[in-house]
Amino acid sequence: MANMDNTTVAAHKEEHSFDAKAIWRTFWILLIITCLELAIGMFVAPQFPHHYKLWFNILYIIFTLAKAFYIIAEFMHLRHELKNMIMTIAIPCLLFIWFIAAFLWDGHAFKTARETLDPRDPPAKVEQKAPAHAPAGEEHIK
């Protein structure tokens, strides 16, 4: 019974308005960012040598995070909730920063370990031309 009361009360209290203008503005922002990403991916990035890839990837990550922000804040309406509520969602997600840093670090460690330790994959070959995973090399990461 108490639970039902809560629901009705919440229904009446949640009166932050959904503004149709804001919805369409978010839509255009998302569309424009996606088009930018694609234009860069299709036309700009192939003009550059492969070692520039990292910088393009950083650019894509910035665009992606911008899109994620708009979807969560506007479409999922989180920006209009109470601050306490926002923080219980946002703070645990900060763990992702560590996850990503730690695992990319790990990936890099695998790579150097394979290059230096695997006798079937001499470092000189790996630098440029060796296959990503010689079938024999794969056992190391599993």
Partner 1 sequence: MAEALTANEKWWGGGKSPFNVEYGKLMMWYFLMSDAFTFGAFLISYGTIRFSSAAWPDPNHVFSSFPFMGHAHLPLVFVSLMTFILIMSSVTMVLAVAAGHANNKAGVIKWMSWTILGGIAFLACQAWEWTHLYHQDAWWGKNPFTNFDGTPASTNFTNFFFTITGFHGFHVFSGVIVNIIMLIMTIRGTFERRGHYLMIEKAGLYWHFVDLVWVFVFTCFYLF
d(CA 113, CA 78): 43
User: Closest approach of Cβ 131 to partner 1, in Å?
Assistant: 5
Radius of gyration for the chain, computed over Cα atoms and rounded to the nearest angstrom = 23
How many residues sit close enough to partner 1 to count as binding (CB under 8 A)? 74
Using DSSP, state whether 82 is helix, strand or coil: coil
24 binds partner 1 (CB under 8 A): yes
Binding to partner 1 (CB under 8 A) within 45-84 occurs at 46, 50, 56-57, 60-61, 63-64, 67-68, 71-72, 74-77, 81-82, 84
Look up tokens 């790996």; give the residue: 126
| Listed residue (71, 90, 93, 92) closest to 82, CA to CA | 90
The pair of three-digit structure tokens given for residue 103, joined into one six-digit string: 């695992």
42 binds partner 1 (CB under 8 A): yes
Sign of CA dihedral 102, 103, 104, 108: positive
41 binds partner 1 (CB under 8 A): yes
12 binds partner 1 (CB under 8 A): yes
User: Closest approach of Cβ 16 to partner 1, in Å?
Assistant: 9
9 binds partner 1 (CB under 8 A): yes
117 binds partner 1 (CB under 8 A): no
d(CA 1, CA 39): 55
Binds partner 1 (CB under 8 A): choice among 44, 100, 124, 136 = 100
User: Closest approach of Cβ 119 to partner 1, in Å?
Assistant: 16
